[in-house]
Amino acid sequence: MREDYYWYWVNNIVGMSNAKLKKLFAVFDTPEEIYKASDRLLESVNDIRMSDIMAIKESRKDDYIYRQYSDIEKQGIRFTYPGQINYPDKLLNIYDYPYILYYKGRLPDTDKPSVAIVGARNCTEYGRMIAQHFGENFAGMGLQVISGMALGIDAAAQKGAIKNGGYSLAVLGCGVDICYPRTNIELYTHLNDCGGIISEYPPGTAPRAGLFPMRNRIISAMADALVVVEARQKSGSLITADQALEQNRDVYVVPGRIGDALSEGCLKLIKEGAQVITSTMDIMATKSIEIYYNNRQMTDDKLDSLDSNSIFDDDFKKSGLASPKNMVYSCVDLYPVGINELINKTGLSLQTVSGALVELELEGKIKETAHNCYARV
């Protein structure tokens, strides 16, 4: 048998979790040793029960696993595992790294930094625009964009990266042969053709709620930094942020409106010390990204172009007018004014006006007196 078959086999034993594999690999050096181990030796492994030993023994004579292994490349699916040259080094630095990764397309370039972008599935149109904005401009900086291909923020960020000719990687909570959600089939196809799709779950694994929190540790671990765009107080995005901090990754947050449910998680992270991100170049606070970017031979014009790609300042820098925040503030009085009126008075876009209002609220200069109505404090 080839070495890669033993790796495929050990990761497809029924009921064998990542935690149990870790126990086995504390005793055995290779999957082949596990395959050939006696019952007595298997019984000596901590937390490995008789039911686990029976599953190992049954899997040795299971033709189904071998047939799946033999057919996997015909499906356009490959896999890698610890010790392989293409296994992502960053994953080896976390406690519970996966013992196998199935993938379609290609894996990230280890010489380039990556940024993970996550957020709400049921996001606002504003959040969607911000996510796509960052995905597009990070790709323009030569950074790789990682996310989970979920509806909302994830998909918007990855579409932005692809739009700008960049590389994006989707980490799935199901098999790589399954497009979930199905409505993202176009994105899935693009990622397969010019990006990457990975999962620690075998092909054919259907999406289940319990699988997604587990995959989030891979999203954060494979990135140099994590950006959160819109998140509720109890959400998968906050789980990913917590894991990123445990993995010693930088966490950035797009500030949201006070009192907005989709901003609660973001504002909580800011209070806990996460960095606020309001422009593309804020990501340069992450050292590995700064070093990579500075080492690239880019023209000054390119640098200026990227720096102007601010969430809040796009209209301003194109027009040469006063700061949009000051323009919006000058139009807000003690008497409440609606957001549509602010757009008409300033001539700025909804995205820019909304962003300026967020900043002014955070600075305590204005308050929302009613839905989309603002007054000076």
Q: What is the pLDDT of residue 298?
A: 55
Let me know whether 323 and 344 are in one domain: yes
Element housing 368 (H / E)? strand 366-370
CATH of the domain at 209: 3.40.50.450
Token pair of 349 as six digits: 């876009």
Let me know whether 181 and 249 are in one domain: yes
CATH of the domain at 353: 1.10.10.10
Each residue of 289-339: pLDDT tens digit?
Answer: 999 988 875 544 554 455 445 555 554 444 444 578 888 888 887 778 899
Q: What is the pLDDT of residue 202?
A: 95
Let me know whether 156 and 231 are in one domain: yes
Let me know whether 244 and 346 are in one domain: no
How far apart CA 178 and CA 184 sit, in angstroms, is: 11
Let me know whether 296 and 316 are in one domain: no
Let me know whether 184 and 52 are in one domain: no
Rg (CA), the chain: 24
DSSP 51-93: HHHHHHHHHHT-HHHHHHHHHGGGGT-EEE-TTSTTS-GGGGG
Let me know whether 116 and 227 are in one domain: yes
CATH of the domain at 68: 1.10.150
Total tally of structural domains belonging to the chain: 3
Q: What is the pLDDT of residue 302?
A: 52
In 125-209, which ranges are E strands?
144-147, 168-171, 196-199
Q: What is the pLDDT of residue 320?
A: 45
Let me know whether 120 and 249 are in one domain: yes
Each residue of 3-35: pLDDT tens digit?
Answer: 999 999 999 999 999 999 999 999 999 999 999
Domain hosting residue 202, numbered range = 105-300
> What is the pTM (predicted TM-score) of this model?
0.82
